[in-house]
Amino acid sequence: ELPFAESFRIKMVEEIYRSTREEREKWIEEKNYNLFNLESQKVFIDLLTDSGTGAMSDKQWAEIMTGDESYAGSQSFQKLKATINKITGYEYVLPTHQGRAAENVLFSALVKEGNVIPGNSHFDTTKGHIEMRKAHAIDCTIDEAFDSELIHPFKGNIDLQKLEEQYKKHGKENIPFTLITITCNSSGGQPVSVDNIRKVKALSDQYGIPIFFDSARFAENAYFIKEREEEFKNHSIKEIAKIVFDLGDGMTMSSKKDGLVNIGGFIALNNEELYKICGNFGIIYEGYLSYGGLAGRDLAALSQGLHEATEYDYLKSRISQIEYLGNKLIEYGIPIQKPIGGHAIFIDATKFLPHVKREEFPAQTLGIELYKEAGVRGVEIGTILADRDPETRENRYPKLELLRLAIPRRTYMQSHMDYIAVALKNIFDRREEIKTGYEITWEADILRHFTVELKKK
């Protein structure tokens, strides 16, 4: 059998600057050891996020040229709507400028003070939009998800007992919907099975509670279903996506991930009344119903991107690239979250750097080491991100202290993966010498990770 190879080739390239270690040591010190502060040209391989950082295809760029910029009723919107109708089965479509904007519009219509929104782990902005409305996001992810060594095919699944407890305790009066994030970013890009969604649906029907999807990586989720759930091994990705969306009442989308575009989002629903309420918020916050804060050309490129992102070959090359990197790291003995997720590798920093104390931020320390070693930028998902307890002002120590390496779509090559793996191996080989981390010299009251200033311990 022939080995798998990407079914695309490259016809435009972007040069990236390969800096020296001396340059990087100077730059990161000048930026107070905060990776967000670095100008992008000082980064060789940028794994900060897979959001809006991917490469569009020639067909998407062609759509950019022919986009219809009419304020109302643009043909590009019609095209996008038809694509979303086909892929999701949802009739009503409201574009927004990105995923969190879709959350803002939908939650403005549905979430009231004191409400409870259960689900698997909510993404940060989703949680933020819920908590901003004085409501509560309750994490009902299965316990297996929190053991990074444990292998389970669907670590994004919802624990039905935890969910029913919430339903019993709060009832449909206080639960406007249950939110299923596919794939579950916060538990490591881990998928949710159709079997689990069916069970969540059956339970939610009993209690009269609707289901919505946070669908940023719905195509990657469908790929895992095809690979890991026997019943669907002969289904196409588009068929699987449709089966999943059929089990819910609507979705929010960050098109910057599985829409294969650099900016955009949308809401899709099957309820006309709710669409009309959302439409009013959409018009106030985002723009008219047929563009939602985006240019006509963005809508057109997204329509094409959704077709491409739901093709099996594309998804196989995408997920295989992350598995390739992850398997190299496993081979080197580097502790990562298992199984390997859909969009990123999560390194267990407390295991990687056993001598760096939790209060000296092991994941941030590893992120800085990796930047200095090779110009690779990851992101800390650990104590700095977790902020302080609002009451005690003490650091909150999350269960896992992780460095996330998110892989942009269709952007880097296998040699980049080899380079990243060797860079990490070099650090891993001298981990015994890394004894101290960093201390905070300045921080903001909330969301401190974006602007925090640090100095070496």
Span near ligand F0G by CB under 6 A; candidates 121-129, 141-149, 155-163, 334-342 = 121-129
Q: Does residue 148 belong to the site contacting ligand F0G (CB under 6 A)?
A: no
187 binds ligand F0G (CB under 6 A): no
Rounded to a whole number of angstroms, the minimum distance from the CB of residue 453 to ligand F0G is 22
Judged by CB under 6 A, the chain residues 261 through 280 that form the site for ligand F0G are 265
Q: Is 53 in the site for ligand F0G (CB under 6 A)?
A: no
141 secondary structure, DSSP code: B
How near is the Cβ of 434 to ligand F0G at its closest, in Å?
26
Residue 79 binds ligand F0G, judged by CB under 6 A = no
Of 91-120, binders to ligand F0G (CB under 6 A) are 98-100
Indicate whether 129 belongs to the interface with ligand F0G (CB under 6 A): no
Residue 279's contacts (CB-CB under 8 Å, 6 or more residues apart) are 94, 289
Q: How far is CA 26 from CA 47, 321, 361, 427, in A?
A: 21, 32, 21, 19
Q: How far apart are CA 247 and CA 88, in angstroms?
A: 10
* β-sheet bridge partners, residue 377: 46
Mapped to the 3 state alphabet, what secondary structure does 32-58 carry?
A: CCCHHHCCHHHCCEECCCCCCCCCCCH
Q: Which is nearer to ligand F0G, 98 or 356 (CB)?
A: 98
Give the per-residue contact string, 300-339, with ligand F0G (x = CB under 6 A; - = no): ----------------------------------------
CB of 332 to ligand F0G, least distance (A): 25
**190 in contact with ligand F0G (CB under 6 A):** no
User: How many helices and strands in the chain, by DSSP H and E?
Assistant: 16, 14
Q: Are 186 and 382 in contact (CB under 8 A)?
A: no
Regarding 125 and contact with ligand F0G (CB under 6 A), the answer is yes
Measured between alpha carbons, how far is 17 from 315 in angstroms, rounded to an integer?
Answer: 29
Binding flags for ligand F0G, 344-363, as an x/- string (CB under 6 A): --------------------
Q: Which of 216, 301, 363, 423 is catalytic?
A: 216
Binding of ligand F0G by 293 (CB under 6 A): no
Active site residue 291: no
The answer to whether 257 is a known catalytic residue is yes
Q: Which residue is nearest to ligand F0G (CB)?
A: 99
- In degrees and rounded to multiples of 5, residue 235 shows phi and psi of -85, 150
Q: What is the largest CA-CA distance in the chain?
A: 62
Name 402's bridge partners.
Answer: 348, 381
Please, what's the b/e burial string for 93-108 (b: 16 or more CB within 10 A of its CB; e: otherwise)?
Answer: bbbbbbbbbbbbbbbb
Chain residues binding ligand F0G by CB under 6 A are 49, 51, 98-100, 123, 125-126, 181, 185, 214, 216, 254, 256, 265
- The set of catalytic residues is 71, 123-124, 214, 216, 257, 449
